[in-house]
Amino acid sequence: MAGRTPVIPGFHPDPSICRVGDDYYLACSSFEYVPGVPLFHSRDLLHWTQIGNVLDRPGQLTLPRDAPASGGIYAPTLRHHDGRFWLIVTNCAEGGGNLLVTATDPAGPWSDPLPLPGVHGIDPDIVWDEDGTCWCTTAGISQVPIDPYTGRTLGEPRRLWSGTPGAKAPEAPHLYRVGDTWYLLIAEGGTERGHGVSVARGPSPSGPFEPCPANPVLSHRSTDDPVQNTGHADLVQAPDGNWWMVFLGVRPGGGSPGWHVLGRETFLAPVRWEDGWPVVGGIVAGAESAAPAYRDDFDAPELAPGWISPRSRNASHCTTRDRPGRLTLRARGAGLDSPDVTFVGRRQDLLSCRARTRVDPGEGSGGLAVRLDEDHHYEIEAGGGTVRVLARIGPLRTAVAELDVPEGPLTLGVDVSPQPVRDARSGPDTLTFGVTGPDGAFTALAALDGRYLSTEVAGGFTGRVIGPYAAEGTVHFDWFTYEPLKEPPVA
């Protein structure tokens, strides 16, 4: 259906937005991946460019090896106040907690994290009232005033309006002052198919709050809309006075129950005000269909901000400096089954796409992987004169196909193709792994069902990430490409 594409596709959930002049800035959750909290810029709310990551150095964020998949960094709130950008976020890893960072330039550098030991709960929101008091509100929904310069709480937490009676998981609170009225926006119903957004209003940041009679103001639950799980929203006012909402959603594919494979994506909708309440319009189409091809020849001394790795990444096992024009990966752990795998990937942000990489395994082994977590990944791996397609699905790991190849560099690839829905059990897509020969022809070795790399199978909060990895020894990569896969429409 037209008008149902995200403005920031792929695994970019929990969007928080702010505007400074004619510029919009948006941050998302990153969970177990580093660098943490991708940050985007736009002038029109439709076309977004990643300008960096907020937590982009080990001094700000290094997640422990035992941080679980879908653990780590949850639900930032991004605001601009008193000439400075503020971002508050939860680190759900052991010893983490809520933290606050600031910057004068959203592209960075951002400050070292300021711990907030007195702020409990996830999904923290930050807002200043007219007398300068800084209020922090968290999932639950509870609130406490804080000193944003020292991290101290300035009172006892108190409960606020927590949404529809009986609705689970009231979370993602955001507070706004519109005229003389304060609005409390929350998500509720869980982040699955029952997700929704509700709102209440009151005379101050602490209420008392009355709920909107039309709640939820946004939800696609119990509908056949191709975008589901809509929720975790944030509001922004444009320079022309119009209001907009960004929120997460998923695009399930295949038969029943529907599998979403890209993770939770960022969508946009207009908002109008009626009788003092926000009314959310239909989804505005993003620019996914015009997505350009991406190529990285690894010529820069540092990786581009779109490259991410699980839990930690440093030059001892990932660098472009050892061999100019090459990405050098040194294996650690036990490959992709291990929490400390040496893997560098980019979020899959197209439903139909193709990725290629030129790999020189040398005395080691490595290749190209499509990762959801340690227990759910597919890969094509070269080493020892053999190319293997491997699949890990829950407790099962198997070699799906093998091919003897000459020693030396070779090009590995994967094509991701949506599949037609032929019956209730149809999967969402097929991942075809193969080798590109000297003549440019792609030899397919295995075609795997994409449902097993979906949230509905694996669980969690992330989406697919595609990129190079090292399983043993030292492996070099000459280049990586990612582009839309042009195919006939699905029947």
Q: What's the pLDDT tens digit per position in 137-150?
A: 999 999 999 999 99
pLDDT at 139: 97
Q: Give the helix ranges, DSSP H, for 313-421.
A: none
> pLDDT of 373-426, one tens digit each?
999 999 999 999 999 999 999 999 999 999 999 989 999 999 999 999 999 999
Q: For the chain, count helices (H), then strands (E).
A: 1, 37
In the prediction, which pLDDT does 94 show? Answer: 77
How does the average pLDDT of the chain come out, rounded? 95
What percentage of residues in the chain have a pLDDT greater than 90? 93
Integer Cα distance of 477 and 411 in angstroms: 10
284 against 333, higher pLDDT? 284
pLDDT at 292: 77
* Tokens found for residue 302: 């540092």
| DSSP classification of residue 266 | E
Sorted by where each begins, the domain ranges of the chain are 16-289, 293-484
Q: Is 491 a residue whose pLDDT tops 60?
A: no
Alpha-carbon separation of residue 448 from 100, 375, 400, 433 (angstroms): 43, 16, 9, 8
pLDDT, tens digit, 9 for 90 and up, residues 16-62: 999 999 999 999 999 999 999 999 999 999 999 999 999 999 999 98
Kindly state the tokens that stand for 5. Answer: 């594409």
Tell the CATH topology of 293-484.
Jelly Rolls (2.60.120)
Q: Which CATH superfamily, name and number, covers 16-289?
A: Glycosyl hydrolase domain; family 43 (2.115.10.20)
Considering the candidates 56, 123, 125, 171, report the single residue annotated as catalytic. Answer: 171
- Percent of the chain past pLDDT 70, that is, above it, reads 98
Residue 171 has pLDDT above 80, yes or no: yes
Q: Identify the pLDDT of residue 489.
A: 42
pLDDT(291) > 80: no
Q: Is 309 left (phi over 0), alpha (psi -120 to 50) or beta?
A: beta
Whether 16-289 shares its CATH topology with 293-484 is answered no
Average pLDDT of the residues in 424-430: 95
As a whole number of angstroms, the distance between CA 205 and CA 196 comes to 22
Q: Hey, what are 486's tokens?
A: 């042009």
| CA separation for the pair 311, 393 (Å, rounded) | 21
44 Cβ contact partners less than 8 Å away, ≥ 6 residues apart: none
Distance CA 170, CA 172 (A): 7
Give 438's pLDDT tier (boundaries 50, 70, 90).
confident
Q: Go through the chain and tell me how many residues it has.
A: 491
Give me 114's structure tokens.
């300021």
Inform me whether the pLDDT recorded for 2 exceeds 50: no
**Distance between CA atoms of 40 and 47, rounded to whole angstroms?**
10
192's torsion region: left (phi>0), alpha (psi -120 to 50) or beta?
beta
Residue found by looking up tokens 């709050």 in the block: 209
Q: How far is CA 478 from CA 22, 144, 362, 406, 434, in A?
A: 39, 51, 13, 18, 18
Provide the 8-state DSSP code for 153. Answer: B
Two tokens at 143? Answer: 């609130």
pLDDT(456) > 50: yes
d(CA 279, CA 132): 29
Residue 379 to residue 367: CA distance in whole angstroms: 7
How many beta carbons lie within 10 A of that of residue 349, not counting itself? 23
**Cα-based torsion angle of the residue sequence 141, 145, 147, 153 in order, rounded to the nearest 10 degrees:** -80
User: Can 337 be counted among the known catalytic residues?
Assistant: no
Beta carbons of 431 and 452 less than 8 angstroms apart: no
The whole-angstrom separation of Cα 9 and Cα 4 is 11
C-alpha–C-alpha distance, residues 290 and 286, integer Å: 9
Residue 290 pLDDT more than 70? no
The whole-number average pLDDT for the span 242-269 is 97
Cα angle value 434/435/439 (rounded, 5°):
135
Residue 341 has pLDDT above 90, yes or no: yes
Is residue 453 classed as helix, strand or coil in its secondary structure?
helix
Which pLDDT score, from 0 to 100, does residue 1 have? 38
Q: Is 171 a catalytic residue?
A: yes
Confidence of residue 69 (pLDDT cuts 50, 70, 90): very high
Of 412, 388, 403, the residue nearest 481 (C-alpha): 412
